[in-house]
Amino acid sequence: MPMDLDLAAALRSRRVLVASDAASEGGGVVGVIVFDLEGEAPALIDTVAVAPDRQGRGIGPRLIEAAETEIRAAGAGRVTLYTNVKMAANLALYPRLGYRETGRVTGDGFRRVNFEKTLAPRIALKAPVDGLYGRRRVHGHTIDPTYDRYALDLEAPAAPLVRHFEVPVGAVRLEVGFGGGEHLVHHARSAPDVGLIGVEPFESGMMRAVRDVAAEGLANVRLYLGDARRVLEWLPDGALDRVDILYPDPWHKKKHWKRRFVSVDGLDRLARVLAPGGVVRFASDIPSYVAWTRAHAAAHPAFAMGEDSATPWEGWPGTRYEAKAFREGRTPRYLTLVRA
């Protein structure tokens, strides 16, 4: 692209990043990117220019990456850019950088191709998870670059929650402790317009889910490797229409009951993030935990008991743990708690 940009004007209203090469002649500027952080979201990258003798060396992608880092740090979740339809190199490059074409328009004497990208959230987890029990601890490192793409970013503002997804979604649901993610993936596939947040602190289960979500290109999924209570603390009020708690660890010993996900505090947290009329789906094969959940729901002012059934919900794909319970002769129960 030609470098005929009015830098002074751009600097007054926008952010400009410059790529320089000390070894080059003429001051060392080999590329420039201009973007607007103050406009309406999504943020707009409106110029990417690379010196003609430096094109094809990765300077443009590095400038775009640097701009995305600033845009994300400023709190924007999406970025748009565009190119002249005649710029075949850009048409090939932008999709490789994760941009999706959103349309073509004619204006200012050229045909313009618009692109948009949802910024991959920053790595969600950098330190060991506190407050989890047993052996299922995570180790404070990035587990896989593909995880980063789908990770829910708890450092970004939670609201509006729908902006955390790569595609437009209506309702948002949360699955707590998804194990290997089979149930999550099934629902993500069958309801592409629903945003699904899956949480699991166990690394190998998370990796299985990441692999399946990526293989199917499920853009309505966000994943969090860690404790679901952290996600609940972060979520905006009334942001969810459903929370699935499927075969949660029962913590049989009385002295461990305080670790149960369903508790007075747990229901308080769930009540805050659920929209009125939203539901908690609870499945368990442990009769004492089912009775405990019934009693807690009955005592909690924000919840009423909906279904209390031996038959699963419509469209139920089962879960890995449920299959094990059946194999071992236990009978599950399916409860629906309704947020008043």
Task: Tell me how many degrees the CA angle 221-169-321 measures, rounded to the nearest 5.
Answer: 35
**Nearer of residues 96 and 327 to ligand SAM, judged by Cβ:** 327
Among the listed ranges 43-51, 170-178, 212-220, 271-279, the one in contact with ligand SAM (CB under 6 A) is 170-178
Residue 132 C-beta: closest distance to ligand SAM, Å: 6
Residue 179 binds ligand SAM (CB under 6 A): yes
Peptide bond preceding 287: is omega within 30 degrees of 0, i.e. cis? no
Specify the DSSP element, H or E, that contains 58: none
Active site residues: 249
Residue 178 binds ligand SAM (CB under 6 A): yes
Helices 264-273/287-299 angle, 10° precision: 60
Each residue 84-123 as x (binds ligand SAM by CB under 6 A) or -, in order, gives ----------------------------------------
**Which position among 42, 195, 198, 201 is part of the footprint of ligand SAM (CB under 6 A)?**
201
In whole angstroms, what is the distance from residue 117 CA to residue 123 CA? 18
Q: What is the DSSP string of 80-148?
A: EEEEETT-HHHHHHHHHTT-EEEEEEEETTEEEEEEEEEPPPPPS--SPPSS--TT----SS---HHHH
Binding positions for ligand SAM, 234-273, rule CB under 6 A: 246-249
Among the listed ranges 3-11, 60-68, 315-323, 326-334, the one in contact with ligand SAM (CB under 6 A) is 315-323
Burial class (CB in 10 A: 0-12, 13-18, 19+), 90: buried
**Nearer of residues 45 and 206 to ligand SAM, judged by Cβ:** 206
Provide the pairing of β-strand 43-50 with 240-246.
unpaired
C-alpha torsion 160→164→165→171, nearest 10? -40
Residue 152 binds ligand SAM (CB under 6 A): no
Structure tokens at 179: 């194990």
User: Cβ-closest residue to ligand SAM?
Assistant: 177
Residue 332 binds ligand SAM (CB under 6 A): no
**Which position among 116, 166, 212, 322 is part of the footprint of ligand SAM (CB under 6 A)?**
322
Which residues sit at the interface with ligand SAM, rule CB under 6 A?
132, 136, 176-179, 199-202, 205, 227-229, 246-249, 319-322
